[in-house]
Amino acid sequence: MEQQRGSFTGKLGFVLAAAGSAVGLGNLWRFPYLAAKYGGGIFLLVYLILAVSFGFALMITEIALGRKTRLSAIGAYEALNRKFRFLGYLSCVVPFIITPYYCVIGGWVLKYLTVFVTNQVSEAAADDFFTNFITQPGAPVVFFLIYVLLGVVVVRFGVEKGIEKASRIMMPILIVMTVFIAIFSMMQPGAMEGVKYYLMPDFSRFNATTVLAAMGQLFYSMSLAMGIMITYGSYMKKEANLEQSVRQIELFDTGIAFMAGLMIIPAVFAFSGGSEEALGKGPSLMFITLPKVFDSMKFGTVVGAVFFLLVLFAALTSSISLTETLVSIVSDKFGWTRKKSCAVILIFLVAVGIPVSLGFGVWSFIAPFGMSLLDFFDFISNSVLMPIVAFLTCVFVGYVVKAKAIIEEVEINGAFKFKKFYTVMIKYIAPVCLVAILIFAIMEAMGVITV
Ligand code: TRP
């Protein structure tokens, strides 16, 4: 792959490819449950502020690093400074933690697709349907295995292009459907309370945990702080406008996350009341709430089936590109063939994914820090490793390669409008805030300060 590094074709090619990989379960599943849990409006506000400031600076940096060096993460950091080679490795650890549990959720989506296709909508709308499902020892593991296998087979035979093409048709339909479902949700009796909760920030709920959660979500959803955007940048043409592309990707990704929140949060109020408990469901929120929405809808079975099919595609494009990343990391590192690398990654995903899946049922005694295994992996990657990678990247760019080098790369095609803002962000604001947030959140978690 290194020798014949291709480029994205067309003006929109890069943006579509990057956005296609960025949009996935992060937007549809993770964003709404975090927003519901962390105070609604205040989470949304913090997220938006972080996206235009911090997310913007970090995405510019990563894409520029890739385009400048024409290398993926490990090589890119090393090429610019040998001492920072470890940062390339560190960022590669993140997709290894994320992918297995991403595929577990993918399996849940697959299950819900079959539920709707077989017309079990009212069963699925029952309160404990989801819990009964994930606590079983067999079914969730089987769906997970099918999902993983699907992804690895695609990567093994290099047919990602086909999936990508399909998802280019599916993605716009998904967006239209999300808007439609959101409008339907908002029209349910009692839903307006939820709209208020989601759109009006309650500043008394502002604290470091909210900021940390919003930031982790930003990294996750935009595939930042894990070397991915460096790889994407390495395929970007010099003629493409980098700053504009970043803005478009961010707008697209954030727009879909926002709509997903509007689809799910009002429904939580309409169907389950807006209690702390209903809002704090975490990873299961989408799976508990949406079937209730579809159940109360005319033709809900069909709408639900189509919807989960589209979500499956959005999830697949993301997990395939995650799997592809893992495969290329091991094949580059160890010089293995594609076949061998795929086999090793498959074994790895299965070995880690099964305990994650069983962690909700028979193996729920494995609960590091009182979290389910899925929540634990999610926490370690999004709230610990990614902020650390992001911090080191800021230090690396701000003080070692210097912001100027990135600015020059951006300016190859046209002015960099937010140049000054970028420099201040990457050198001072971002690193200081990152450290502060991490320290605060750790102190909160240890109960040193109470909120
Ligand atoms: N951003 C993706 C989502 O929102 C998840 C993701 C994280 C991802 N890292 C990735 C997707 C790398 C593709 C490649 O679901």
Q: Looking at mean pLDDT, say which of 160-164, 205-209, 283-287 comes out highest.
A: 283-287
Least confident of 10-19, 21-30, 87-96: 10-19
Least confident of 4-18, 26-40, 393-407, 413-427: 4-18
Over residues 78-112, the pLDDT tens digits come to 999 999 999 999 999 999 999 999 999 999 999 99
What's the CA angle centered on 449, arms 444 and 451, to 5 degrees?
Answer: 80
Question: Over 50: is that where the pLDDT of 2 sits?
Answer: no
**How far are the Cα atoms of 15, 21, 32, 206, 298 from residue 26, in angstroms, in the given order?**
18, 11, 9, 22, 28
- Ligand 1 probe mutation, 318, 321, 377, 389, most atoms within 8 A of CB: 318
- Going from the Cα of 19 to the center of ligand 1, the distance in angstroms, rounded, reads 10
| This prediction's pTM | 0.93
Least confident of 2-6, 395-399, 436-440: 2-6
302-317 average pLDDT score: 92
User: In which band, very low, low, confident or very high, does the pLDDT at 4 lie, cut at 50, 70 and 90?
Assistant: low
Distance CA(443)–CA(214), nearest Å, equals 18
Question: Over 50: is that where the pLDDT of 63 sits?
Answer: yes
- Going from the Cα of 357 to the center of ligand 1, the distance in angstroms, rounded, reads 20
- Ligand 1 probe mutation, 92, 223, 325, most atoms within 8 A of CB: 223
- pLDDT at position 436 is 87
- Going from the Cα of 215 to the center of ligand 1, the distance in angstroms, rounded, reads 15
- pLDDT at position 11 is 62
Q: Would you give the DSSP letter of residue 27?
A: I
Over residues 239-251, the pLDDT tens digits come to 889 999 999 999 9
134-138 average pLDDT score: 94
Higher-pLDDT residue of 125, 451? 125
208-230 average pLDDT score: 92
How far is CA 16 from its chain centroid?
Answer: 16
- pLDDT at position 240 is 86
Nearest to residue 429, comparing CAs of 64, 94, 49, 76? 49
Over residues 161-192, the pLDDT tens digits come to 777 777 778 888 888 999 999 999 999 999 99
Average pLDDT over the chain, rounded to an integer: 91
Question: Over 50: is that where the pLDDT of 1 sits?
Answer: no
